[in-house]
């Protein structure tokens, strides 16, 4: 298990549509374990492979601030097979530090995918767990929470990131 570097906006890798995993082999299992280690090291509740620079369809989640603790979830090729209801949640993202935006999501989802053992699984999620699954699956399509913000909010964040990058470049 190794903590990998988290890529942050506006890194191009975050915009690439991730490739399906053909088989959960040793390399994919290593990626899964590293994603978990990286998520825990950053106190995140979810992480997708593109966030560590790997364009593969792998996500990990550990949602713990709900009323109930959800188990650590690791999925390759996750797909939403059913979505219903509506929930509005103020989301953040480890790839957009300091950025938060309210987003409308399904409040209930059924997701299928392949677990760390290579077994096809289907799970149902509600509330924050459902939001987190939709957020991580968006990453696999190159979609970021900043896309859901108003143009003015987007421009403001983008400008502050550029300013910070310029400042860091001067050091
Ligand atoms: C995705 O997000 C998510 O800005 C996971 O300074 C978000 O773990 C799922 C984080 C909302 C469901 C609801 C963000 C940590 C962590 C920050 C995260 C920050 C420090 C975000
Ligand atoms: Co994210």
Q: Which atom of ligand 1 is nearest to the CA of 96?
A: 4
Domains in the chain: boundaries: 12-167
C-alpha 171/C-alpha 162 separation (Å) is 15
- Note the ligand closest to the C-alpha atom of 90: 1
Which pTM does this prediction carry?
A: 0.96
pLDDT of residue 64: 82
Nearest 10 degrees: Cα torsion 34, 39, 40, 44: 180
Superfamily name with CATH number, domain 12-167: Peptide deformylase (3.90.45.10)
In the chain (171 residues long), the average pLDDT of successive 10-residue segments reads 96 98 98 98 97 98 78 97 98 98 98 98 96 98 98 97 90 56
Structure tokens at 132: 């987190």
Instruction: For residue 114, report the distance from its CA to the centre of ligand 1, in Å.
Output: 24
What residues sit around ligand 2, an ion, with C-beta below 5 angstroms?
93
How far, in Å, is the centroid of ligand 1 from the Cα of 94? Answer: 5
Helix (H, G, I), strand (E, B) or coil at 69: coil
pLDDT in the model for residue 170: 65
Confirm whether 136 is a catalytic residue: yes
């Amino acid at each position: 298990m190794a903590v990998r570097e988290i890529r942050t906006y506006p890194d191009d890798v975050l915009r690439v549509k991730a490739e399906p995993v053909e088989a959960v082999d040793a390399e994919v299992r290593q990626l899964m374990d590293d994603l978990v280690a990286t998520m825990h090291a950053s106190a995140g509740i979810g992480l997708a492979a593109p966030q560590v620079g790997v364009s593969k369809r792998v996500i990990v989640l550990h949602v713990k601030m709900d009323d109930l603790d959800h188990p650590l979830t690791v999925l390759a090729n996750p797909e939403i097979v059913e979505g219903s209801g509506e929930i509005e949640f103020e989301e953040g993202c480890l790839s957009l530090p300091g950025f938060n935006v309210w987003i409308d999501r399904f409040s209930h989802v059924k997701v299928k995918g392949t677990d760390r053992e290579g077994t096809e699984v289907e799970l149902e999620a509600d509330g924050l767990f459902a939001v987190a699954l939709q957020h991580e699956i968006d990453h696999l399509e190159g979609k970021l929470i900043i896309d859901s913000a108003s143009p003015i909010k987007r421009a403001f964040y983008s400008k502050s990131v550029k300013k910070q990058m310029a400042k860091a470049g001067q050091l």
